[in-house]
Amino acid sequence: MSTLSKPANEEMVQGYLDGLDLDSPEPSLNRSHSYRHGFANGRDDRRGQSRDSYHNLVKMADIAMASDSLA
């Protein structure tokens, strides 16, 4: 089982929590990569379906956090 190379950041956690609320609008590109990744995961969990495998989602989370640090 894969794990994140570092813990989820605050933006990812906030996005996840917002994604759990089906009344929250989809985030626009002005939000961080981490926020948008967390939001999508929250939506997936609320709907009871995953858009990808756990292994790929972990990779995507690491990429999102790395992308934020490059911006």
| pLDDT category of residue 6 using cuts at 50, 70 and 90 | confident
pLDDT tens-place string over residues 38-62: 999 999 999 999 999 999 999 999 9
pTM assigned to the model: 0.90
> What is 8-71 written as a DSSP string?
--HHHHHHHHHHH-TTSPPP-TTS-HHHHHHHHHHHHHHHT--SS-HHHHHHHHHHHHHHHHH-
The residue segments making up the domain with residue 27 are 10-70
pLDDT: is 38 or 70 the higher one? 38
In a domain, 25, yes or no: yes
Counting the structural domains of the chain, the total is: 1
In a domain, 24, yes or no: yes
In a domain, 31, yes or no: yes
In a domain, 4, yes or no: no
In a domain, 52, yes or no: yes
- Give the dihedral sign, CA 17/23/29/30: negative
In a domain, 5, yes or no: no
In a domain, 1, yes or no: no
| pLDDT category of residue 2 using cuts at 50, 70 and 90 | low
